[in-house]
Amino acid sequence: MIKRVEPSGIIEDLLDAATEAMMDAYCPYSKFSVGAVILTSRNNIYRGANIENLAYGSTICAERSAICHANAHGERDYLYVAIIAKNGSSSSIEVVAPCGACRQMLYEFAKLSERDTKIIMSNTKRSKVVMASINELLPLGSGSPELAKL
C-alpha cells in the first residue's frame, strides 16, 4: 500500500544522501534536478543524478544513474531507493515518482533479487514523504529472473 511516512532513521539518512546526489544533477534544459540513492542488501549506498542532453532521448534519470552505479559495483539486490527533486532554484511541494523506464529497471532488479524493493519519494522540504514498493508502482510489470537467463 502506498503510504505517507514520517522521515526517521534510515529514511532520513537516505533522503539526505539523495539530496546530496541532486546537487550533482546536470539539467541545463529543464532545470529539473533529481537525486536518487540505492541502499543495497550489503548496506552500501549508490548515488545517481539526472543527466540531460540536448538530444532528450540520451537523457538519463537519477534512478537509472544510481542503478548503473550499483550494477557497476556488482550490486543488484536493493532494499530501498530514495528519490528527491526540485524545479530550478525553488523547492518542490510534491513528491516525484520514478518514470516508466525507471520503474521497469527497478522491477527487473527486484525480480532478480526476489525482493519487493521499497521506493521512498519526498519533496525537498520533506513535508511530504511517500513510500511504496516497486510492485505497487508497477503492479503488472514485465519480466522475470528466467528471462534474464536466456
pLDDT, tens digit, 9 for 90 and up, residues 64-123: 999 999 999 999 999 999 999 998 777 767 889 999 999 999 999 999 999 999 999 999
pLDDT confidence of residue 145:
57
pLDDT band at 22 (very low <50, low <70, confident <90, very high): very high
CA–CA–CA angle 70, 72, 75 (5° rounding): 45
Residue 99 domain flag: yes
Please give the pLDDT value at position 94: 82
Domain assignment present for residue 148? The answer is no
Q: Which residues are catalytic?
A: 63
Q: What is the CATH number of the domain that holds 43?
A: 3.40.140.10
Domain assignment present for residue 147? The answer is no
Domain count, the chain: 1
**Is residue 144 over pLDDT 80?**
no
Domain that holds residue 81: 3-138
Average pLDDT over residues 34-45: 96
| CB neighbour list of residue 107: distance below 8 Å, 6 or more residues apart | 134, 135, 138, 141, 142, 143
Q: 46: helix, coil or strand?
A: strand
Which pLDDT belongs to residue 57? 84
Is pLDDT above 60 for 38? Answer: yes
Under the banding of pLDDT at 50, 70 and 90, the label for residue 14 is very high
Residue 146 lies in a domain: no
